[in-house]
Chain A
Amino acid sequence: MANSDVALATARSKSGAIGGLLPGGLVIGLLAGLVAVSVVGLLLAASERTGRSIWTDPYLWAVLRFTILQASLSALISVALAIPVARALARRPDFFGRSLLVRILGVPMVLPTIVGVLGMVILLGRNGWLNQGLEGLGFSGQINVYGLSGILIAHVFFNMPFATRLLLSGWTTIPSEHWRLASQFGFNSGQIFRLIEWPMIREVAPGIAGVIFLLCFTSFAIVLTLGGGPPNATLEVAIYQALRFDFDLQRLLALALLQVVICAGVMAMLTFWARPVATDMALHAIHDRPDRVRVLARAVDGFWLALGALIVLAPLAALGSRFVTGPIFKVLSEEAVWAAAVRSLAVGLTAGCISVVLGWGLLSTARWLAVRRGKLWAARALETTASLSLVTPPLMLGAGLFLVLRTFTDPFALGLIIVVVVNAMMGLPFAVRILNPPMAQVARRYDRLVQGLGMNPIDRFRLVDWPLLRRPLALALGLTVALSFGDFGVIALFGTGQTETLPMVLYQRIGTYRIGEAAVVGGLLIGLCITVFAIIDRGVGGRATR
């Protein structure tokens, strides 16, 4: 580190342009190189075998159809449910427990996917709470947790709260004059919705739906566990199966190409057309509105708030109930579980650190471009490349790397290293998102001073950036470490008995239906996740440095 900083400092003193462009350039080079290696690996491997035509494979199209169907439905249902919940939250800015509810809505965003899946299985299985409840109420039909219904419910659990929080910040962007006018004209609820709220929703919702579509389009752990068999697979799951089940490289390549084209298309649409959603989750005071006091409005809001809370809390409660009755002592005395936990920790910390360092490098160049050269478009383009990973999702990237490595060595032996690399790349957009606003602000305020004083990069980091940015840095690190720690993705490709991570142990316990044990592993996973996050937040972020 020190060496590269010194090198960086010399470079900068020689020529500001090289110093300014170097970090971002390096990061882009790394990302592009990784993607290129993976894609070349896929292309070369697929040319090994020739035979049937890949584009006339009916299974391929069945998988694509299902992937699009479930992603569209997941996005639609999530946003459709989020609108009334967000509206109720916006209309009731001051009820008791509101801030708690908003926090609860934040839980699924950081909950490891595989833990959420376990919650679904417990809640929705044949003997789960929901079906027992339905039976008790006299319904004969059962909800099947395997197949489309289970996948949709799990996707809504993870994405409805996300949509709600984004929509809620959309509400805060409605100008206060609109509310004043509404009061003066005495608008009723329907008129407010039609004339004031709907135009905002129409502008914001497509972007949110697009993001959710993309997330569900590339969903892996949920679809793998709850799919219930072909063709209920996303392209990501089918890529995994083509590699691990069939070793069908032709099909693998076709799936990967389809996925890249579609993801890139959706990404491009989102970047060019959708209005960027304010990610600032600040809870501005909502202006007084004439329709809040009506009894009916209260009842309606109460219903939606309760439903929103129920969607998030029910699976968590189901999980908790099986955790406390589970074989806690037995599972926690298993060496394999702790070995997996240690491995996950090592993977998470390494991947998180890499994500943050890469994000910092990318943003320093973006900041240099924006502040010193005034090239805002170039800065923005650079920030967008951080999301490159959305176009090359983990399993595709992992499959490509797998095929390349296979020609040199035993890819399973390098499994965890690849998991680190892929997870670091997946964490990058999060790191950039968290670091970008504060870094830009610090640059705007202090860059001229730094330049005037002729500070070298080390002093700049020590005296300016670190004190001002350690909190967002800690947040970015904590989040990326936690995400990687709980991730069940590429490890499915490479995992063996010697490289099992904790999420993989959980996946296997769910698979073999040892639900009590799974609940204990899930509890351990959540507990460690929170602990690691808290330690990083306190340790790196420090207390009240602002």
Chain B
Amino acid sequence: MQLPLLSVRRPWHFAFGTLLAWPGLAAAQDLTVYTYSSFISEWGPGPIAEELFEAQCDCDLEFVGVDDGVALLSRLRLEGGSSPADVVLGLDLNLVAEAIADRIVVPHGLELPPLDLPIEWTDEYFVPYDWGNFAFVYDTEALEFPPSSLRDLVENSDVEILIQDPRTSTPGLGLLLWLRQVYGEAAPGAWAQLQPRIVAVTSGWSEAYGMFLEGEAPMVLSYTTSPAYHRIAEQVDRYAAGEFSEGHYTQVEVAGISSTSDNPELAGEFLMFLLSPEFQAAIPTTNWMYPVRLPPEGLPDGFTPVPESAALLYPSETVRDNRQAWIDEWLTAMSR
């Protein structure tokens, strides 16, 4: 049992590191992966990744969980040059340009296998490991007629919802962009219209989804693939994802090598591991997202089929240039 009472990790790391680096004393290397908290929960993909990767790398893989994807970026920014992270896992496409501009990551220099993504992937810094479409998931026993579009939800519906905070959570940011895609410059007005029906804005996806399952609201911002979890893991058919006629905003989740990593080679190996058939096969039923490399036998039975319609998506540079302004607009609109 490890009891780091007062976390003075770095000095100790340094002291031990010097000792262990002595010839003949060399031990397994460490890889620190920063990710969002639901990734490393007991039912998430974290434990499987740790088991599979440690079996092949002769290293100690350590996950550090931070609320949610956007909070992850803030955390790395706060830590600056002293971050112990080797790998950053769980930012999404929306944050890619910003992370690169902030020099959070370094180019991976890897040759990626062909990917089953709805978009073409050319980024030199990040490796995508799964993707999905945001959706409002609802409880069919509490809500008989779900809204048929985002406009319907904003303008005509009286359903109460749970959402995530765009300042901390990638789904929260996704909804901000989704609304922007649909309403354009009129988005702040739409937020003000929606505001009275937002039961809570949580800092991460897990919080909102937990509240939804406890019945705090009949509808929650999540993914089109979330009901598959209840169907497959729980044999419960009660939850469904609302299909919105404007189309759904797409999320591509990515991982990259931290610019503070002292072992970028091992970090690169981990990124390639994320694309391995074994780990990709585990994605649908652990992270409940689409893998970026479809297994030859296809998705598991009962899983939400890969959507055919085109997805809504902003170029990551647009998000980089506008995120702060749009979030300020959101804060103001919510404060009316």
Binding site for B on A (CB under 8 A): 57-59, 62-63, 125-127, 144, 146, 228-231, 241, 243-247, 335, 339, 342-343, 346, 402, 406, 409-417, 496-499, 511-515
- Give the complex CA separation of A430 and B207 in angstroms: 35
Given known contacts A229-B165, A496-B64, A513-B213, A62 and B6 CB-to-CB distance under 8 angstroms: no
Find out whether the CB atom of B332 lies under 8 angstroms from the CB atom of A417. Answer: no
- Give the complex CA separation of A337 and B173 in angstroms: 32
Q: Does B1 touch A at the CB level, under 8 Å?
A: yes
Interface size in chain B (residues, C-beta < 8 A): 51
Chain B residues near A497 (CB-CB < 8 A):
64-65
Find out whether the CB atom of B74 lies under 8 angstroms from the CB atom of A410. Answer: no
Chain B residues near A412 (CB-CB < 8 A):
7, 78-79
Find out whether the CB atom of B5 lies under 8 angstroms from the CB atom of A343. Answer: yes
Chain A residues near B334 (CB-CB < 8 A):
229-231
Find out whether the CB atom of A410 lies under 8 angstroms from the CB atom of B71. Answer: no
Proximity string of chain B (104-136) to chain A, C-beta cutoff 8 Å, 1 when within and 0 when not? 000000000000000000000000000000000
Find out whether the CB atom of A410 lies under 8 angstroms from the CB atom of B332. Answer: no
Chain A residues near B213 (CB-CB < 8 A):
513
Given known contacts A247-B77, A498-B4, A59 and B9 CB-to-CB distance under 8 angstroms: no
User: Main SS of the interface on chain B?
Assistant: mixed
Given known contacts A228-B201, A229-B201, A515 and B214 CB-to-CB distance under 8 angstroms: yes
Min CB gap B201→A, angstroms:
3
Min CB gap A545→B, angstroms:
33
Given known contacts A126-B214, A146-B200, A410-B79, A231 and B331 CB-to-CB distance under 8 angstroms: yes
Find out whether the CB atom of B168 lies under 8 angstroms from the CB atom of A245. Answer: yes
Binding site for A on B (CB under 8 A): 1-10, 64-65, 70-71, 74-75, 77-80, 82-84, 163, 165, 167-168, 198-204, 206-207, 210-211, 213-217, 324, 327-328, 330-332, 334-335
Partner of B9, one of A342, A413, A417: A413
- Give the complex CA separation of A415 and B7 in angstroms: 7
A sample of 7 more A-B contacts (CB under 8 A), given A59-B328, A409-B10, A414-B7, is: A62-B331, A126-B214, A229-B334, A230-B201, A231-B331, A410-B82, A416-B6
Chain A residues near B328 (CB-CB < 8 A):
57, 59
Chain B residues near A512 (CB-CB < 8 A):
206-207, 210
Chain B residues near A230 (CB-CB < 8 A):
165, 201, 330-331, 334-335
Partner of A245, one of B84, B167, B198, B211: B167
Find out whether the CB atom of A228 lies under 8 angstroms from the CB atom of B203. Answer: no
Closest residue on chain A to residue B75 by CB atoms: A244
Given known contacts A246-B327, A410-B10, A411-B78, A339 and B3 CB-to-CB distance under 8 angstroms: yes
- Give the complex CA separation of A316 and B320 in angstroms: 47
Closest residue on chain A to residue B331 by CB atoms: A59
- Give the complex CA separation of A416 and B213 in angstroms: 34
